[in-house]
Copies of this chain bind each other. A is one copy, B any other.
Amino acid sequence: MSHPAVLVMIYGAARGSSLGGRPAFRIVAEPGKRLRVTDLAATRGDGVFETVGVFDGRPANLGPHLERLARSAAMIDLPDLDLGVLEQAFDTAVTAHLPVPELLVKIVVSRGIEGSGTPSAWIHAQTAPSYAAERAGLKVVALDRGISTTAPQTSPWLLAGAKTLSYATNMAALREAQRRGAQEVLFVSSDGFALEGPTSTLLVRRGEQFSTTPASAGVLPGTSLASVASHLRGSGREVVEELLTPAQVAEADGAWLLSSVRLACPITHLDDQELPVDRALSEELSQAISGRAAR
């Protein structure tokens, strides 16, 4: 069953915004045309975003998502964000959407119309598509990202670790995976280490130890990973940050791509190599992200 999406336009995304009598945000009719072609989101991919899962009406990790949005915004020199306004706008969008088990909510802040100096911002809430197939398992190909694990520290303008709107190469990598008969990508650094997916974080299990890619290697600090790591540590399991090669991932006792709406998707194959899948553990990890029993 498909319900209409909800769109909230935000006029007060920057702290101390001059609103000129407008409210800080308001629900607008969807679908409608709300952006100018000179918005830097559309001409330069010049903005930041978050995708948040809402499960049975409860947002998962909204605080960490908003904090990461603020960090991404700072990395591209956007004005300071008013996270209070963004959170209220988020709640308004979720409340206005008809109740569904899984809602996919995007928060976008762009640099705004060229020359204006005022960010554009909106929240778009829509019924999540079914991720049953992905949650059962993903065929993944390892693809070079072309950048070393050391470049992010010395070259901050490469924006590694900022979640910007410039995702053309991420999307191209996903199409390359499909051409190879797979559904997903594991990016590999030019110095040969497994990094992350185009829209997901890598988690690997080797024996009783879980590991993930250090954020310093130029990956996005995963909000879902934080939930999963906290859950695993809380139940006595060890979680470490370490650089692994794709070969080490392929030989592991289990691996997942974690994301906020798709949750914990086990990797069934990395290139031609098959990995063991622990269905119960995958559901446990998904539940740690969503905060509810897996479906």
A-side interface residues toward B, CB under 8 Å? Answer: 5, 7, 31-39, 41-47, 49, 75-77, 106, 108, 110, 122, 124, 143-148, 151, 154-159, 162, 164-173, 175-176, 190
Contacts and interface: CB of A to CB of B under 8 A. Distances in A.
A168 B165 contact: yes
Contacts of A164: 45, 168
A154 B159 contact: no
Contacts of A172: 75-77, 156-159
Contacts of A155: 143-144, 146
A171 B162 CA distance: 14
A155 B146 CA distance: 8
Nearest to A187: B157
25 contacts: A31-B38, A33-B35, A33-B36, A34-B37, A37-B108, A39-B42, A41-B41, A41-B42, A43-B106, A44-B45, A44-B165, A45-B166, A45-B168, A47-B168, A76-B168, A76-B171, A143-B157, A144-B155, A147-B190, A148-B190, A156-B172, A157-B175, A158-B169, A165-B168, A166-B167
Given A33-B33, A39-B42, A44-B170, 5 more contacts: A35-B37, A37-B108, A37-B124, A41-B41, A157-B169
A47 B77 CA distance: 24
Contacts of A35: 33-37, 39, 42
A168 B78 CA distance: 12
Contact of A147 (B36, B46, B49, B146): B146
Contacts of A43: 41, 49, 106, 108, 165, 167
Contacts of A170: 44
Contacts of A7: 37
Given A36-B34, A124-B37, A167 B46 contact: yes
A21 to B, nearest CB: 19
